[in-house]
Amino acid sequence: MKYVYLFNEGNKDMRSLLGGKGANLAEMINMGLPVPNGFTVTTEACNKYYKDNEVMSEDIKNEILVNLEKLEEITGKKIGDEENPLLLSVRSGAPVSMPGMMDTILNLGLNDKVAKAIASNEDNMRFIYDSYRRFIMMYADVVKGVNKDEFETILLNRKRAKGITSDLELTAEDMYELTIDFKKLYKKLVKSDFPEDITVQIIEAVTAVFRSWNNDRAKVYRNMNNISETLGTAVNIQEMVYGNLTNDSLTGVAFSRNPANGEDKLYGEFLEKAQGEDIVAGVRTPKSIEAMERDYPKIYQELKDISKLLEKHYKDMQDMEFTVEKGKLYMLQTRNGKRTSLAALNIAVSEVKEGLITKEEALMKVSPDDISSLLHSSFKKESLNKASVITKGLPASPGAASGKIYFDVQSVKKASEENIPAILVRKETSAEDIEGMQKAVGILTVNGGMTSHAAVVARGIGRCCISGCENLIVSEEEKYMQVGDKMYPEGTEISLDGMTGTVYEGVLEIAEASLTDNFKEFLSWAKEIKKLAVKANADTKKDALKALELGAEGLGLCRSEHMFFEKDKILAIRKMILAGSNEERDIALKELLPIQQKDFEDLFTVMDGKSVVIRYLDPPLHEFLPKTDIEMEELSKYLKISVSDLQTKIDKLKEINPMMGHRGCRLAVTYPSIIVMQTKAIINAALKCAKKGITVKPEMMVPLTISLNEFTYLKDIIDKTIKEIMVKDNISYKVGTMIEVPRSVIVANEIATKAEFFSFGTNDLTQMTLGISRDDASFLNDYYEKGILTEDPFKTIDQNGVGKLMIVASRLAKSVRPDIELGICGEHGGDAKSVKFCHKIGLDYVSCSPYRVPAAILAAAQAVIEGK
Amino acid sequence: MKYVYLFNEGNKDMRSLLGGKGANLAEMINMGLPVPNGFTVTTEACNKYYKDNEVMSEDIKNEILVNLEKLEEITGKKIGDEENPLLLSVRSGAPVSMPGMMDTILNLGLNDKVAKAIASNEDNMRFIYDSYRRFIMMYADVVKGVNKDEFETILLNRKRAKGITSDLELTAEDMYELTIDFKKLYKKLVKSDFPEDITVQIIEAVTAVFRSWNNDRAKVYRNMNNISETLGTAVNIQEMVYGNLTNDSLTGVAFSRNPANGEDKLYGEFLEKAQGEDIVAGVRTPKSIEAMERDYPKIYQELKDISKLLEKHYKDMQDMEFTVEKGKLYMLQTRNGKRTSLAALNIAVSEVKEGLITKEEALMKVSPDDISSLLHSSFKKESLNKASVITKGLPASPGAASGKIYFDVQSVKKASEENIPAILVRKETSAEDIEGMQKAVGILTVNGGMTSHAAVVARGIGRCCISGCENLIVSEEEKYMQVGDKMYPEGTEISLDGMTGTVYEGVLEIAEASLTDNFKEFLSWAKEIKKLAVKANADTKKDALKALELGAEGLGLCRSEHMFFEKDKILAIRKMILAGSNEERDIALKELLPIQQKDFEDLFTVMDGKSVVIRYLDPPLHEFLPKTDIEMEELSKYLKISVSDLQTKIDKLKEINPMMGHRGCRLAVTYPSIIVMQTKAIINAALKCAKKGITVKPEMMVPLTISLNEFTYLKDIIDKTIKEIMVKDNISYKVGTMIEVPRSVIVANEIATKAEFFSFGTNDLTQMTLGISRDDASFLNDYYEKGILTEDPFKTIDQNGVGKLMIVASRLAKSVRPDIELGICGEHGGDAKSVKFCHKIGLDYVSCSPYRVPAAILAAAQAVIEGK
């Protein structure tokens, strides 16, 4: 086993062994770029260190010392040498970037003898004792684990004594004396002398970096970012270069392109006479890279050339660190640069145009989340930096919104009529709030997760929403919200960042979204490659138009009941629900028929030539019923019954576990006239559209099916109803079902004998397969914290559970109907990982809310590329 | 295809072709018993009749006429003959008994010529014209479908005119004239003459019986009794014998043993000078069979001999019809007799002792439901006959109870202290009502199905319960219940029949249950044969003792939380639930530890040597919280916080779908200290008992597991806790899990790597697999009505859905742990069909409520026998 690699022995593909930094340093060395030389102790050495109970084995130590000798040879310098001493940095570098989480030691190789030798040139004296005293403090801190405070106090006292405030005003003598004081303090705290032996320094420093892999902040960071504990860190030992040595020394960071917008121009900043750490510390204000072009044109050109070379080599925008020592440029690090979504898109597109990468490579460089975020407005960074946070919730629907808060639909509507941007704040939303949600610029709820009613509806209509804001107290009656002791009455201005789930005080400045040409071109590439069809979940003409604009190839889910929530319709549906007899119900349904038919006509017209999957009435009936006193009175007048009789009727419909109650096709079994009315509305609308030359492809979908008997009972009613209206076979339609209850998976081969398509309703399927109500799932936070679960099963398909059921259902269905159409219409249809899973298991399409369509298209394309 | 069988061509095993009556008539003919001869038109002929659009095909007609000729040969009589005419009965007979649902025609073969010839002997004149006029009316009614009323009016008018009231007072002339009048009326109503041609009579009569298979009452009966529509009915054409011909003619019905208690003595009744119909009509009071022994000793002896012969032949108690014509005995029907549960048991046991049947045969002759019903009290029949029904609900827990109604636990307790039998009436019950349920003699609820809280608890404690009484209105505040307009205030006396679900007014007389020697002996035979272990679900010492008494071999489910519902414990658990911090929670748990430990000690002591499966805390925490104002105040004082703060805390715990919320092992993930406390209580109790020489076999069961990660997290805590208390390995224990969420089935092979046993929680597994909350499942009635579902999936395992998951989980588990212990502890564990299914798929045990244990033992034995 080889534990140490000279830089020239490695390359960029050895990231897991050498860490990201080490692999890239090796790569640059091999490219012939100016990189201070060195070697890397591998992650395997780190893992062995932990396996050996945190002791570094002799073979690793020996290998480090052997390579140190080789480095001396390569550099022509020697450790501890008075003529030409080798000074070193010791830096961590894990396979996955964990910026600032682990330790670093600089100026290693200094001791009294070396310092004195260098200081014999008086020009170097201040510099070398400054470096030495820093080294002592760093070593005490990182290697010996003592508190730095007393060192800082000594430094401070010296400055006070001299009446100065800046370190820069300290003289060479001050630095020398500080070094002596620091060494004394070191001895006092560590109970031994500071080591003169430089091999001791090196071995101890490497051990300290290994140890820092397991410090508390590193562990938390790994946990938060799902980084495996078993990776370990590598350690890079590299010749020091000093950006603070002379006046023609400097240090800086640069991106090969602008990371904010992707512009193809060197971007970054530098500090003259400084070390890299000084930029990070932010004590001095760095200069922009443009100043370098002016003041150091030669170095600028060299850096720019290297930057282009690296970009071409890595086929990606680079984030680089460099230092100039006495006019000579050294590259200290390069890696693929982080960037905004906008920059990611623009860079990918322009790199294709430059011939740097292929379209397929470009498609892999932008994440579906990036694509989604480009569809939504966001707060300007400057504005965010100044904003004060009220609280945080779940980022339920992206976008940015500022407005006044209101606690009921009426007030939101009134404000909206007066052109006041309104934010609807509710404990939770229900079907009745939809009008208010549409009129509001943003929605904030106390309860509910990422797939709560508020979240689902908000994403569907592209409205910014924060849900599950659990430390918010809302009084809808008294019209205020409260966090801690602070009250926010109706009309208070707040801002919602739907991308992060943060609620801010006051109004913030918004950057609007826009679909650029680059965006459209990029998506067109994805469309060419993908195999999965991407459809949208949309219930109204407006949503359908948005879906088409964003690239949807059809509607995979039209929730027929969503059409009912407008004012005049809801009264009719309530009348239907509360009907005392079949006759009363039929009268109410007769009133609903033309309304629903008109809605379908609008939808079919918009979707001309594309398939439209319509789900029959699904939610439990009580979801449609009034909740407030005002609504109760209104309904009681409309129905001409007393409020108390109305209440009794409503109470009868209450359920203990509504998610598993009288809903879905169970409603149609009890009240077949509902499914008859809906079928008539669909087919009448289709016939009317067909007459106008519109191509209509309705697919009628039965929700919550659990057995062939049940499906057959309903399909017979649907077929009979259609036969009665459709004299000629002039509309081609399909009748299929949702697969959303575990039992329907088990008997999928039976159901598929009659059902022409399956659509996986993975929201419900996840709830029932896991036995977790998404509305009551806040306990899952304990599961994430304790590492029992790593992903939200309501966001990303639980492949080991729900995913297996999807595979089983698909196989069973195809065994009896090989050409059955298979799709997914749950929230997962817009989640990139889940879309890729759907591709892998051979579904025909995914369907998601309109604003997720572009992300789903990209994910579907990536799935094809990844599968190659 | 042969459509007609002479009686001597058939036998008792041809029931599906010849119908029950036809097959048994054939059998008796072949045994040489005195049976009027005849032939049977098969059920296949009936089905062909329906397939041919209700037309009888020529080949069937021909076969009937050919066999009619054969019958003439056998009997030596001829149809239409003036010397020796053959008179016939035409009776339906389906493969499954449908008493009184289809049509019968008697005296067929009479016409003017035959009647006149017979009437030439003056002794016969009254008899023959009485028969003829009845035949005309019956034919008009059954074959021609005309209303009988006008015929009855003619008869009535004649009696009025003569000033008499009884048919018996009509003379031979009256009968003759009535015949003429009936024929006239027939012509008027049917618009054609009454057929003189006897072959026409026969063909039309057979057709009419076929037609009656599909009359409304037959269809309803089949639907109610789950009888397939495709069976069809056979038709028996048989020589008439007349019990009303002479003074030494009679007719009767008899059982070979007493159907009420099984006593081995001929049992029945007869009427002299009468036809079978007269017994059914109930106009005259029949004599008991004892009178026959006295008055007709020869005939009695012959009947008794035949009865014993038949019993031996059929190896079962027989229900026979017979007629004596002119002193000669004819058997008209025999079939296995219906009997009470008590009789079933006693007959089975005594038949074994008589050497008539084997033990295995005996075990197949008593149903598990019979066995269950013997464990419970019932109302005496006389008392029931006079009782008036208030309403009907679901027969949630068997037994009979009369008492005064109360609407809250306090009042029930008070009444019980005063020795007033109390019936607890609630909208639904919850955990808090348990004390009241124990003190009550019966429980009545408006909501909830067969597996609601009320039902489950009532069955567990052997209390009579009727649930799901949906047209009952209950006001717990104003203390009354109401059905329709009728009010029943607190203290009203009512009676509950838990076997039928019927609620009666007033107090009824009760027959107590008793475990007879026969019962015990019978069960011991079942125990010898069965393979499945039968354990009980019991939570207290008292329940455990009852379980042992009834034959349980261990406890398959001890719901550890049920121990908490007693007064002093519930306050401690509430304190634990509402704890504001981990410290507060730990204090509350420390209080609970000794209480719970003591409960386990009691349980282990009772169950010495037998395994005890203990389920960790399972229900959502809000189930433990107070619901009434009084309880709220009490708790607020106890916890020293205000009622409104308490309310806020309680509201926080409310869930939208509690069945899929924060419950089961999810509680332990959030609050590991709960599982630590419970583990300590179990192991401490086990150690203490072991010291006393008691053999303890605790099996700790994690509920609601959905993944290996989750199970591992908890098992590690359990193991660590045990390691801390148990220094030596002196208790052997197991740690396993419930399989009750669909996901746990899918990953059963993963979970089984760590879990030592699985117990199928089929209540929850059914709920989640079908997506049906048992509390909200009343819509299933529509499914039964429409034939979509035939069985309640919460009563009998849904083998095609849930059952398949059980098979999958068993296989996956055994693939990684071949010796894994598999059981079931859902309500289905006490359902005979489900027990048999568990045997078939290779489970190790079933566990059910104590009172279901004997039925489960019998079902387990029957499963073995059926599998042979």
| pLDDT tens track for B601-612 | 999 999 999 999
Eight-state DSSP code of residue B273 = S
- Predicted local confidence at residue B360, as pLDDT: 97
The interface predicted TM-score of the complex, written ipTM, equals 0.83
Reported as half-sphere exposure (CB side, CA atoms, 13 A), residue B544 has a value of 25
Q: Are B118 and B39 in contact (CB under 8 A)?
A: no
- Predicted local confidence at residue A651, as pLDDT: 84
Is the Cβ pair B709, A787 closer than 8 Å?
A: yes
Question: Across chain B, what does the average pLDDT equal?
Answer: 92
A669 in B contact zone (CB under 8 Å): yes
> Does residue B460 have a pLDDT over 80?
no
B:622-661 residues touching chain A, CB 8 A cutoff: 655-661
Model pLDDT for residues A297-353, shown as the tens digit of each residue: 999 999 999 999 999 999 999 999 999 999 999 999 999 998 888 899 999 999 999
Q: Once rounded to an integer, what is the mean pLDDT over residues B741-754?
A: 98
Contacts of B586 (CB under 8 A, 6+ apart): B673
Chain A nearest C-alpha distance from B761 (Å): 13
- The residues of A carrying an active-site annotation are 453, 825
Which residues from A are below 8 Å from B789, CB to CB? Answer: 707, 709
Percent of chain B with pLDDT strictly greater than 90: 73
Which residues from A are below 8 Å from B708, CB to CB? Answer: none
Is the Cβ pair B657, A662 closer than 8 Å?
A: no
CA angle at residue A361 from A863 to A514, to 5 degrees?
Answer: 85
Q: Are B810 and B837 in contact (CB under 8 A)?
A: no
Is the Cβ pair B660, A656 closer than 8 Å?
A: no
Highest-confidence range of B246-250, B276-280, B362-366, B435-439, by mean pLDDT?
B362-366
Give the lowest-confidence range in A729-733, A859-863, B262-266, B364-368: A729-733
What are the strands of the beta sheet with B234-239, ordered from one edge?
Answer: B4-6, B38-41, B234-239, B88-93, B104-108
What stretches in chain A show pLDDT beneath 70? 280-283, 450-451, 567
CA dist A545 and A565 (Å) reads 20
Decide: residue B862, CB within 10 A, 0-12 exposed, 13-18 middle, 19+ buried.
Answer: buried
How many Cβ pairs closer than 8 A exist between chain A and B?
168
Model pLDDT for residues A435-461, shown as the tens digit of each residue: 889 899 999 999 877 667 788 788 777
Is the Cβ pair B742, A742 closer than 8 Å?
A: yes
CA dist B392 and B504 (Å) reads 9
Give the residue from B772, B790, B794 with the most A CB atoms within 10 Å of its CB, the best one to mutate: B772
Chain A nearest C-alpha distance from B762 (Å): 13
CA dist A547 and A541 (Å) reads 10
Q: How confident is the model at residue B283 (pLDDT cuts 50, 70, 90)?
A: low
Q: Are B565 and B435 in contact (CB under 8 A)?
A: yes
Q: Which amino acid is at A745?
A: V
CA dist B43 and B58 (Å) reads 16
Chain A nearest C-alpha distance from B806 (Å): 12
Find, among A455, A458, A418, the residue nearest to A436 by Cα.
A458
A:794-853 residues touching chain B, CB 8 A cutoff: 798, 800-802, 804-805
Q: How confident is the model at residue B490 (pLDDT cuts 50, 70, 90)?
A: very high
B765 in A contact zone (CB under 8 Å): no
- Predicted local confidence at residue A278, as pLDDT: 75
Model pLDDT for residues B405-434, shown as the tens digit of each residue: 999 999 999 999 898 999 999 988 877 788
Which residues from A are below 8 Å from B657, CB to CB? Answer: 657-660, 773, 775-776
Chain B nearest C-alpha distance from A723 (Å): 22
* pLDDT higher at B836 or A454: B836
Is the Cβ pair A764, B771 closer than 8 Å?
A: yes
- Predicted local confidence at residue A163, as pLDDT: 92
CA dist B702 and B734 (Å) reads 11
Which residues from B are below 8 Å from A800, CB to CB? Answer: 707, 746-747
- Predicted local confidence at residue B41, as pLDDT: 98
Find, among B202, B177, B253, the residue nearest to B68 by Cα.
B202
Q: Once rounded to an integer, what is the mean pLDDT over residues B102-114?
A: 94
> Does residue B448 have a pLDDT over 80?
no
Eight-state DSSP code of residue B338 = P
Which residues from A are below 8 Å from B761, CB to CB? Answer: none
A195 in B contact zone (CB under 8 Å): no
Percent of chain B with pLDDT strictly greater than 70: 99
Find, among A744, A829, A767, the residue nearest to A556 by Cα.
A829
Model pLDDT for residues B475-489, shown as the tens digit of each residue: 988 999 999 889 999
Joined tokens for residue A95:
């396979």
CA dist B317 and B354 (Å) reads 13
Q: Are A437 and A539 in contact (CB under 8 A)?
A: no
- The residues of B carrying an active-site annotation are 453, 825
- Predicted local confidence at residue A442, as pLDDT: 95
Q: From A800, which residue of chain B is nearest by alpha-carbon distance?
A: B747
Joined tokens for residue A306:
């290297």
CA dist A571 and A626 (Å) reads 10
Q: Once rounded to an integer, what is the mean pLDDT over residues B499-528?
A: 92
Which residues from A are below 8 Å from B659, CB to CB? Answer: 656-657, 660, 771, 773
- Predicted local confidence at residue A376, as pLDDT: 87
Model pLDDT for residues B172-217, shown as the tens digit of each residue: 999 999 999 999 999 999 999 999 999 999 999 999 999 999 998 8
CA dist A84 and A106 (Å) reads 18
Joined tokens for residue A259:
């990371």
